[in-house]
Amino acid sequence: MQLKSKMHFVLFAIFLQTVFLFGQNNASKGKYLFNDSHFHLTNYIQEGISAKKFLEIMGDKAGRSTLFGIPLQQQWSYQNSGNYSPTYYLQTDAPLYYYSFTDAFIAMQYKSLTKEQQARLDPMITGFNPADMYAYKHIERVLKTFPGVFTGIGEFSIHKEFVSAKVAGEVASLTNPALDSILDFAGKTGLLVILHNDMDMPMAKQKADPVYLNEMKDLLKRHSKTTIIWAHIGLGRIVHPVGSGSDTSTERAPNHTDIVEGILEDPAFSNVYFDISWDEVAKYILASPEITQKCAALMNKYPDRFLFGTDVVAPPDQKFYMAVYEMYQPLWKELKPETSEKIRMQNYNRLFDEARKKVRAWEAINVKQ
């Protein structure tokens, strides 16, 4: 009976993959403008929009998208803000804490959709503490509880301006074995990883190396069998391009592209990709025509290694959702047509389809029916 049940599950997994690929093929026929590699359905107080509403917002603009919440909940401390209820981490000094229920919420949103609708979305697991040696067990439980749902893990953060210091408990670190166990498990299961880690400290002064670069590179090398998307090219709201100090002047900001190119040309990092999500990242790439041209030249040289994402959180309508894509128009114009197509569409299809296939295969073997 067990063998028969497992065979049924394998056949069902193959059926789901066929449906997924059908949806992917439809999203690749030039009907859409982009696939979204970085999207938050909910915010820092776990409120947002439904998956059905998001699909309406995607409309005929976005073909496919990741689907994840935010792994951290902002505490409403009456002692800190009184009757004012903060909805964002910058609105209060109260701590943040990990909110594991986000994964169940995302899974149930996904499962409420039709198979055709599901084919356009890639849910991601985020509700774990990367400083916890048991974190990988949480990820494993989520996969076993919701087979056929998740494609990867993330976006989750290690070093993030303002956020890291506010998280209750142990501070996450690139050298913590807990993080290694998470990335090891992702590699074994095929889960795609979206990792936020600032390359440098906020508003850093000119110096030889950004403070977190070497630790990050060591981490990436230790997990060469895990596909990792480095979110925001390592930048942030006040984590400026390396060497730029507190400005984005032409003569200093391009140092960041040199570091990124060094990673892209090194075979040891062939598993590493970068997303250009977030309007805060767009402001750096578009800081001047010269910087935009330099970034475009890098992307034209390595067209398979970049993905576009919005990093929009619970958008109220399509206009709001499309704002980041529209911001990047000067960049799209600088890219070769084939490079633009890969960054906006094809790289997403390739990476997320491969992850779907691997995770479903792992589930077929490891999930008891």
Q: Is the confidence at residue 353, as pLDDT, over 80?
A: yes
Q: Is the confidence at residue 25, as pLDDT, over 70?
A: no
Q: What is the pLDDT of residues 122-133, one digit of tens each?
A: 999 999 999 999
- 8 A C-beta contact, residue 40 and residue 313: yes
How far is residue 141 from each of residues 68, 116, 132, 136, measured CA to CA in Å? 17, 26, 15, 9
Q: Shortest CA distance to 183 belongs to which of 139, 148, 124, 233?
A: 139
- 8 A C-beta contact, residue 96 and residue 70: no
The DSSP letter of residue 89 is G
For 194, phi and psi rounded to 5 degrees?
-115, 110
pLDDT band at residue 1, thresholds of 50, 70 and 90? very low
Which two three-digit tokens encode residue 8? 């049924």
Which two three-digit tokens encode residue 261? 């190119």
Interval 117-144 mean pLDDT:
98
Q: Is the confidence at residue 266, as pLDDT, over 80?
A: yes
- 8 A C-beta contact, residue 286 and residue 330: yes
- Which of 6-20, 295-309, 332-346 shows the lowest mean pLDDT across its residues? 6-20
DSSP string for 279-307: HHHHHHHTSSHHHHHHHHHHHHHSTTSEE
What pLDDT score was predicted for residue 11?
A: 52
Q: What is the pLDDT of residues 29-48, one digit of tens each?
A: 569 999 999 999 999 999 99
What pLDDT score was predicted for residue 202?
A: 85
Interval 340-346 mean pLDDT:
98
- Residue 82's contacts (CB-CB under 8 Å, 6 or more residues apart) are none
Residue-wise burial string across 192-222, b where 16 or more C-beta atoms lie within 10 A, e elsewhere: bbbbbbbbbeeebeeeeebebbeebbebbee
Q: Is the confidence at residue 158, as pLDDT, over 90?
A: yes
Distance CA 227, CA 174 (A): 17
Q: Shortest CA distance to 107 belongs to which of 90, 89, 126, 92?
A: 126
Name the more confident of 4 and 55: 55
- Residue 227's contacts (CB-CB under 8 Å, 6 or more residues apart) are 192, 193, 271, 273, 351, 354, 355
Which two three-digit tokens encode residue 37? 């590699």
Percent of the chain with pLDDT over 70: 88
Burial of 337 (0-12, 13-18, 19+ CB in 10 A): exposed
pLDDT mean across residues, the chain: 91
Interval 335-352 mean pLDDT:
98
Distance CA 93, CA 369 (A): 46
Q: What is the pLDDT of residues 237-262, one digit of tens each?
A: 988 887 554 444 443 334 899 999 99
Burial of 83 (0-12, 13-18, 19+ CB in 10 A): exposed
CATH code that applies to domain 2-24+35-366: 3.20.20.140
Which two three-digit tokens encode residue 321? 């959702």
Q: Is the confidence at residue 5, as pLDDT, over 90?
A: no
What pLDDT score was predicted for residue 253?
A: 38
Which two three-digit tokens encode residue 235? 């930048």
Domain boundaries, the chain: 2-24+35-366
Q: Shortest CA distance to 220 belongs to which of 165, 260, 254, 278?
A: 260
Q: Is the confidence at residue 314, as pLDDT, over 90?
A: yes
Radius of gyration from C-alpha coordinates of the chain: 20
Q: What is the pLDDT of residues 58-95, one digit of tens each?
A: 999 999 999 999 999 999 999 999 999 999 999 999 99
Residue-wise burial string across 256-294, b where 16 or more C-beta atoms lie within 10 A, e elsewhere: bbebbeebbeeeebeebbbbbbbeebbebbbbeeebbeb
